[in-house]
Amino acid sequence: MTENTLLGELICKHLKENGQSITWLAKQLHCDRKKLYLFFKTSYSDTEFLFDICRILKCDFFPYFSKQLSEIGITHKAL
C-alpha cells in the first residue's frame, strides 16, 4: 500500500463523513474521477493537486506528511 493510498483513504473518509462523493470532488476540481483515483494510487504526491483538494474540502491533509516525517526522525521545520 502506497502513502497516497493511505492519504486517499483519509480523503475518502472525510468525504463520506461530510456526505460528499468522489464524483462531487472531481467536479469541484474540474477533473474526472479517474484523475482522483490515479492520485490515490500513485507513489508520489502532486502537492498542488493536494492543495486544491484541501482548499475545496476545507481540511488540511498536509499534517499527514508531517506525521510520516516525524516517525522517521525528521522534525526540523522550515517555517
- Residue 51 within any structural domain of the chain: yes
Q: How many domains does the chain have?
A: 1
Exposed, middle or buried by CB within 10 Å (0-12, 13-18, 19+), for 11? buried
- Residue 31 within any structural domain of the chain: yes
- 5 and 36 in contact (C-beta within 8 Å)? no
CATH number, residue 20? 1.10.260.40
For residue range 5-36, list pLDDT tens digits in order. 688 888 999 999 999 999 999 999 999 999 99
Top mean-pLDDT range of 14-23, 33-42, 68-77:
14-23
- Residue 76 within any structural domain of the chain: no
- Structural domain harbouring 45: 3-71
pTM, entire model: 0.75
